[in-house]
Every structure is written in C-alpha cells, then in structure tokens.
Amino acid sequence: MRVSMACRNILERSEGSIINIASMPSYIGDAEVPAYCASKTGILGLTRALALTFGMAKVRVNAIARGYHRTGMTRALREIPISANKIAARSVLKRWGEVDDLVGAALFLASPAASFITGATLPIDGGYVSGVRFRP
C-alpha cells in the first residue's frame, strides 16, 4: 500500500498498472498460518480499494492469487512425498504450479489487453480453490 501510494504520481503519468500478490489463503483458511491468511485476505480488499483510489487516474490495480508453486517457500512441503502428492491431487490440474505459470497472468494484467480490468483477483492455482470449494 505504501509503495503504491508513494508511486502514485509516476503511475498516474504513465497510466500504469499495479499487480498485488495474494494467494489461496485469500479464499480458504489454513489453521497452521492464521496471520498469513489474514494478510492475504487483506490483499483482496487492498486491491479493490486501490482500484477505486487510482481509477480516476486510469491506473489499474489487480491481484494474482497464487496457488502451490515450486518455489523456495514451498520446498519443505515438496520434500515430503505424502504432502507433495496430496497437494497435487487436490489441484484440478493434478500438479504443482511452476513460477513461469504466474508470468503470463502478470503480463496479461499489465498489458493493454487488460485495459478494462481493475479491482480483480485472478487465481493462478490450477483449480485448487475451486476443487476445495466445490468437491462433493
């Protein structure tokens, strides 16, 4: 939020785009990391509020809600085969995401192709949240 506000003049002059990073706990709880869930849920509200704040200046503000991707942060989970397999199985696409899976979404949201999109959050989670929410 502070960086966005500090860059307001630059963003307004360039009609730029802000892309916040949320994650699956923005939508679903995790008893192991309640503070993380709260902070990531806050990103959704911040994205919508900044979209309103910057909208008149033609600055778009969106978010990406990442799922389980192969990063240093998830290394410990991936090194435990039962955990890694369980996570992949819950994804509709039955795999972990790669960092490159986030790139296309970010490029799209920053591009003119998304010129009428603001205040939105795009899940990049292989259908994980949908699978959790709607599994019978």
Structure tokens at 130: 């949908």
> Helix, strand, coil: what percent of the chain each, to 5?
55, 15, 30
CA–CA dist 99, 107 (Å, integer): 13
Identify the active-site residue in 27, 36, 68, 128: 36
| 36 is an active site residue | yes
Q: Which residues are catalytic?
A: 36
